[in-house]
Structure 1
Amino acid sequence: MFCYKIYSSYLPEVKAKIKAYTYDGNELDVINSKFPSCRDMDLARLEVNKDISRFNLSNADKYDIGDNVFAVGQPLGLGWTVSSGVVSAKRKIRDFYKIYSIYLPPIYYEIFEPTCDYNIIQTDTQINPGNSGGGLFDTEGKLIGINTFRLSGSEGIGFAIDFSEALSNLF
């Protein structure tokens, strides 16, 4: 049986063998498939030998600025962690890039080309290295975004790719 995972891929030049791990420590083989280059995402096909937990997806129109959200990931490799915050803003990456590109590490310049235009969610939820690629969930446990990055030198200004963007790239 196969399942799919969307994850953050902010290092496009790295082509190493990737492994995925379930919450209970099981290792899964990954077969990659790329999204368009200006998206900070990849689609992984995972080979699964047993049932795994699933979660529901949220419609992008179902969340608003001020809504509570939760980021799930493994910040700094510390293991599974949940942090909470709110949706601070809904933005377009092109507008963000024009204003804030000076705050982005050089690795992001290629990914966030000014010609790209897609929706991102700004949140004050802690998004740290290791959280990227994890989910941003609403209070009902529905996925609304893919955690991606935070502004360098800032606290509480994190971003997730709106899940409707990820979903639209699957089909």
Structure 2
Amino acid sequence: MQTLDNLKNATFKILTSSSTGSGFYLKNEDVLITNHHVVKGYKKVAVEDNNQNRIIANVIMINPDIDIAILKPEQPIDIEHAFSINSSLVITTRQKVYVLGYPFGMPFTITEGIVSNPEQQMNGKHFVQTDAAINPGNSGGPLVTEEGFLVGINSSKFNNADNMGFAIPFKEVASAIESIKSNIDGKFSLQCHSCHSLSYDPVDYCNNCGCQLSKDEFIDEELGELSNFIEDAIAQLGINPVLTRAGYEYWNFHQGSSEIRIFIYKRDYLYITSPINTIPKENLLDLYTYLISSNHSPFKLGIYQNTIFISYRVHMADIFKDEDSKNYVKEKLKDLALKADEMDDFLVNTYGCPMTTYSKKDLRR
């Protein structure tokens, strides 16, 4: 029997260069389900499991009207327990339900609540209303029963609702799954909100029923000059930049065991930093002496809230002065990633500093 604990392995974080959300895996169909607004503007997204491993998934169907998107993973997802749709499931008022996902981009959480209304009508559509908290980041994740049966897709679009959460009913998921059976090649497609047929090209009207469509949904989100610059540097590490996107002008990835973070601070500075180790309980004098006296220029070692960071900061104006400046910063980005992976092992072995909770789980020491 499926339990909520083992279903966490089938609940994923969905990441783009605009935001993060949640999604869940249907093993029989080999697809992931999420909200359309989580992946809007992207045909490829990063998908992260509970162990911080990421793969790329292709968006193969969107329906903006009901806020559903279906993703096809580029690599096999090898898990024992996954979500399935029970077409005979009946949702009742006061039934206990659980919200699974990654609120605010945090690690996996489970939040308990009850069904307030199984068929709440809003804007001409029905939703499952619950008192369980559905926060930004939970969007696209599953709402399930105590037995692990899918109730619906969590949606945080209604963020002005106090103590109320809403989910798109599981029957809409079943309908969306049925429609992609015709999408044999796994192409990006837009589902008509009227007849549910799929369009593979940007057209103004549905070829099947003539209903008006939004062809702008086929337009990819464009990256700016700075984002392209950073992603080119990440690519030179041998990492697909799509896998590193984690929100607006924010990237993170693991180089070996170390988590690397890249972000813009107040529009003035580019920061590249890594939380490599935490402060141990012993040998503090030797450690502090090393941290103060060692020279890792142009990188800096520092401590913030019991965590040791290695960082590099550069003013935006200094990046784009000329081609040599851009190439220099790209090299420093790569060098810091490699240095962080080397440094965390050094601090473990020399000063007994534990790796941080941000370190890759299967590589912590």
How high is the TM-score relative to the length of structure 1? 0.77
The structure with the greater share of residues assigned to strand is: 1
Q: Note the C-alpha offset of 1:90.
A: 2.5
Equivalent residue pairs, number: 150
Q: Note the C-alpha offset of 1:137.
A: 0.5
Matched, 1:96 2:103: no
Name the CA distance, whole Å, in 1 between partners of 2:77 and 2:37.
Answer: 30
- Paired residue for 2:149, among 142, 146, 164? 142
Corresponding residue for residue 27 of structure 1: 54
Q: Note the C-alpha offset of 1:3.
A: 1.9
Residues 151 and 35 of structure 1: is their aligned pair in 2 closer, same or farther, counting only changes over 3 Å?
A: closer
- Structure 2 unmatched ranges of 5 or more: 1-26, 179-365
Matched, 1:68 2:110: no
Residues 6 and 60 of structure 1: is their aligned pair in 2 closer, same or farther, counting only changes over 3 Å?
A: farther
Corresponding residue for residue 75 of structure 2: 48
Q: Note the C-alpha offset of 1:17.
A: 3.6
Which one is further off, 24-33 or 126-135? 24-33
Name the CA distance, whole Å, in 2 between partners of 1:50 and 1:58.
Answer: 21
Q: Note the C-alpha offset of 1:164.
A: 0.9
Task: Letter of the 1:68 partner, please give it.
Answer: K
Name the CA distance, whole Å, in 2 between partners of 1:12 and 1:75.
Answer: 16
Name the CA distance, whole Å, in 2 between partners of 1:168 and 1:123.
Answer: 22
Name the CA distance, whole Å, in 2 between partners of 1:61 and 1:16.
Answer: 32
SS in 2 for 1:62: coil
- Paired residue for 1:164, among 171, 180, 183? 171
Q: 2:38–2:140: 8 Å Cα contact kept in structure 1?
A: no
Which runs of structure 2 are paired with 1:112-123 in the superposition (5 Å)?
117-123=124-130
Task: Letter of the 2:122 partner, please give it.
Answer: F
Deviations 1:51-99 (Å, cap 9, x if unpaired)?
A: 223133333642211100000011111111110101111236xx412xx
SS in 2 for 1:58: coil
Deviations 1:11-48 (Å, cap 9, x if unpaired)?
A: 67522641111122221211112233312110000133
Q: Which has the larger radius of gyration?
A: 2
SS in 2 for 1:35: strand
- Structure 1 unmatched ranges of 5 or more: 98-116
Q: 1:71–1:136: 8 Å Cα contact kept in structure 2?
A: yes
Corresponding residue for residue 113 of structure 1: none
Larger RCO: 1 or 2 (CA < 8 Å, sep 6+): 1
How high is the TM-score relative to the length of structure 2? 0.38
Identical columns (%): 27
Superposition CA RMSD, Å: 2.3
Residues 3 and 12 of structure 1: is their aligned pair in 2 closer, same or farther, counting only changes over 3 Å?
A: closer
Task: Letter of the 1:43 partner, please give it.
Answer: I
The structure with the greater share of residues assigned to helix is: 2
SS in 2 for 1:167: helix
Q: 1:148–1:159: 8 Å Cα contact kept in structure 2?
A: yes
